[in-house]
Amino acid sequence: MSSVINTNVSSLIAQRSLLQNNENLNTSLERLSTGLRINSGADDPAGLIASLGLQQEQTGIQTAINNASLAGNVIGTAEGGLNEVSSLLTQLQGLVGQAANTGGLSSDEVAADQLQVDSILSTINRISQSTSFDGMQLLNGNLAYTTSGVGSAVGNLQINAAVVPSGSTVAVAVQVVSSGKTAALTYQGGNISGNTVTLQVAGNLGSTQLSFASGSTVSQIATAINGVKATTGLSAQVSATALRVNSTEYGSAQFTSIQVIAGKLKQNFSGTKADGADAKVTINGASAQVTGLAVSYRNADLDVSLNIANNYDKPTSSTFYITGGGANFQLGAEVNETNVASIGISSVSTGDLGDSYNGYLSSVGSGGANNLSSNNLSTSQNILNSAIAQVSTLRGRLGAFQTFTIGSTVNSLGVAYENVSAAESAITDTDFAAETSNLTRDQILSQAATTVLAQANSQPQQVLTLLQGHYVSKSVNFLLTNPMAPPAFKRRGRFLDDADHLSSVFDDAGCSIHYLPERPVLSPRRRRGHQNPRTFRLRSALSSNPDLLRTAVFQQWIPWRSARSRQAHDRNLRAVSVRGHSLRVVLCDGAGAVSRASARRSAMAQTYGIASRQNLRVR
């Protein structure tokens, strides 16, 4: 290994290790103080990118959960209003049934019942207008879908749910493949003759018997059947001499039955029983569910119900457009149409409950065509049935939306949030068990590197031994010159100024020695009987500078003319030895370098003790 001074490779290696250990130590302290493994991009670039993506997803999921909770509150508020409307409709139905009992009620009692009906209708309208959430009205049609281009072929249109892109419309194409049919029977035998005929006429609403005397015309038969239409659900039409009897409603659930139970007709009806038929309809190319003329269609993006006009007795089509409206809720982590849940809440005012065929609920009020004083209480009952069905269906849809769409979404989002949070925590959070272990290791390594660096920095000073000889210490710091007393030496052994006897600092190479001004040497005769000034000065200098003085270098001017002189000098040096603390003493000649003669004669140049209250070990 070469001996060099300018480049200390060992020190460089120790510095690099110390720097790395300190950086690791600072990293461990930062992670333990923040609780995060990734505090900057430099800690883990790839992990930072992944964690930011997961944090973004966490925010989106949490927002969706909050949106779903808010949507549940909105739907719950609307359902509460509908619950009260449903209760009022039930009471209204009881009043209509009570008013039909004309034999047991006076006109005053009917009028009193009408007052209750009017109050109920007013309350329903008030609930429709006042039910709101955060200033947004819910049951007045504000959250119903808006449409355009609805033709006469479509009636009782109800948009329950639709996904309408922002700034766009949704086209709904209604295609009638085959029209709905009523249950119909025909008779072409003309007038009844020769006997009395009794017919058993039955329909969906009930059955009855009708008797016709001989000579009864076809028109008289039709009039009799129409007279019991409310009982049987059948109606009759005459065309020339032909009689057609059909159900009042369309669909496969309708039937018409006519049987001759007494007498004989000239010609029997076309059958004893006939069934109706449901229309076949497609919406946007997909088959819809049809009951008679009532059409309903539902998929992920559209939920619609409507009635086909009864004059659509042949295949035809009609297209209308949904332009907006509805209550839209964002239930996903990302904002897009897929994550939007939409539902329509139609108006429940008295002018909207009912249908176009029987009429609307407002007609049951005072002055309406179907009030309690009219003779149309059966129609009033049908209107109430339709209104109750509307409210019940709306409540059911809202309940299903709240339970399955919102509730299931919240549950799913909750599980997703847990998993995303766990993944993000595994990337960014600090493992305290592992990090405390790293902290302990880095602390030990940092301390060890500091110690090694100190040793590495001291290695080049070993070169000084090659330059200054064996007696000059590599740790020489101060020069104590002219160990003899100054001219103003007092015989009592005190010095006027101890600081005058310390020199300037040695340089790092330890080769340059600067001396204080020389002082005359006292002869042995003048020192006789007094304390050795050399010993006194050493003690005084070390006492005032115990942390700085490491090596005392003495300038020796007194030639050793005899062994006696050398022995006396040795005794003076040994007199310094006190309390076991060591001081390396080096003898120099006048030029500042250890002379060969001195080296040969300096067998006594060895370690001697020196007193120090600070117990500093000086080398």
Query: For residue 200, what are the β-bridge partners?
Result: 209, 259
| Residue 302 domain-assigned (yes or no) | no
* Residue 533 confidence (pLDDT) above 60: no
Largest CA distance in the chain: 187
Q: Which residue has the tokens 């009408």?
A: 114
Give the per-residue pLDDT at 193: 82
What's the number of domains the chain is made of?
A: 2
Q: What is the average pLDDT value for the chain, to the nearest integer?
A: 76
Q: Residue 523 has what DSSP assignment?
A: P
With CA atoms as reference, report the closest residue to 113 among 367, 293, 373, 501.
373
What mean pLDDT comes out for the span 380-401? 91
> Dihedral, CA atoms, 161, 162, 166, 171, nearest 10 degrees?
-150
Q: Which of 253, 275, 297 is the last residue of a domain?
A: 275
**Residue 538 — very low, low, confident or very high, per pLDDT cuts 50/70/90?**
very low
| pLDDT per position as a tens digit, 136-145 | 999 998 999 9
Name every residue whose Cβ is closer than 8 Å to that of residue 306 and which is 6 or more positions away in sequence.
154, 155, 156, 157, 158, 174, 294, 295
Report field, pTM of the whole predicted structure over 0.85: no
Is residue 518 predicted with pLDDT exceeding 60? no
Q: Which of 217-226, 269-278, 309-318 is the least confident region?
A: 309-318
Write the pLDDT tens digit of every residue in 359-388.
Answer: 899 999 988 888 888 878 888 998 999 999
pLDDT at position 396, please?
A: 92
More confident call, 503 vs 106? 106
Please give the Cα distance from 374 to 602 (Å, whole number).
146
> Rounded to an integer, what distance in angstroms lies between the CA atom of residue 166 and that of residue 174?
23
* Alpha carbons 20 and 23: distance in angstroms, whole number: 5
Concatenated DSSP letters for 19-61?
Answer: HHHHHHHHHHHHHHHHSBS-SSTTT-HHHHHHHHHHHHHHHHH
278 in helix, strand or coil?
A: coil
Contact 619, 584 (CB under 8 A): yes
State how far the Cα of 443 lies from the Cα of 449, in Å rounded to an integer.
10
Residue 86 has pLDDT above 80, yes or no: yes
Q: Which conformational region is residue 579 in: left (phi greater than 0), alpha (psi within -120 to 50 degrees), or beta?
A: left
Q: What is the pLDDT of residues 265-275, one digit of tens each?
A: 878 888 889 99
In a domain, 445, yes or no: no
Arithmetic mean of pLDDT, 508-531: 38
* Per-residue pLDDT, 422: 93
pLDDT at 4 over 50: yes
The answer to whether position 582 is within a domain reads: yes
Domain hosting 271: range is 182-275
For residue 91, pLDDT beyond 90: yes
Does the CA dihedral 456-458-463-469 come out positive or negative?
negative
Model confidence over 14-47: pLDDT tens digits?
Answer: 899 999 989 889 988 988 989 888 888 888 889 8
The answer to whether residue 475 is domain-embedded is yes
Q: Does residue 74 belong to any structural domain of this protein?
A: no
- Counting residues of the chain whose pLDDT is more than 90, the rounded percentage is 30
Confidence of residue 5 (pLDDT cuts 50, 70, 90): confident
CB hemisphere CA count around 490 (13 angstroms): 6
Distance between CA atoms of 295 and 308, rounded to whole angstroms? 7
User: Where does a domain end: 275, 292, 325?
Assistant: 275
User: Is there a domain that residue 506 lies in?
Assistant: yes
Dist. CA 170–CA 162, nearest whole Å: 8
Query: CB-based burial of residue 36 (10 Å sphere; 0-12 exposed, 13-18 middle, 19+ buried)?
Result: middle
Is the per-residue pLDDT at 525 higher than 80? no
Where does the pLDDT of residue 82 fall: very low under 50, low under 70, confident under 90, or very high at 90 and above?
A: very high
Report whether pLDDT(341) > 70. Answer: yes
Domain assignment of residue 223, yes or no: yes
Task: Report long-range pairs for 98-101 (Cβ below 8 Å, ≥24 apart).
Answer: 99/372, 99/377, 100/377
Strand 273-275 relative to strand 255-262, pairing: antiparallel
Q: At what angle do helices 563-574 and 533-544 cross, to 10 degrees?
A: 30
Say which residue, 604 or 156, is predicted with more confidence. Answer: 156
Which among 244, 275, 306 is the end of a domain? 275
In sequence order, what are the beta bridge partners of 183? none
Mean pLDDT over 84-109 rounds to 88
Task: Tell me the residue length of the chain.
Answer: 619
pLDDT class of 601 with cuts at 50, 70, 90: very low
CATH no. for residue 224? 3.30.70
Is the pLDDT score of 505 beyond 70?
no
pLDDT bracket for residue 125 (50, 70, 90): very high
For 400-454, the pLDDT digits (tens) are 999 988 988 899 999 999 999 999 999 998 889 998 998 999 899 999 989 988 8
Q: Is residue 201 part of a domain?
A: yes
Strand ranges (E), 179-331: 182-187, 197-202, 207-212, 234-239, 242-250, 255-262, 273-275, 280-283, 286-287, 289-291, 294-298, 302-308, 316-325, 327-330
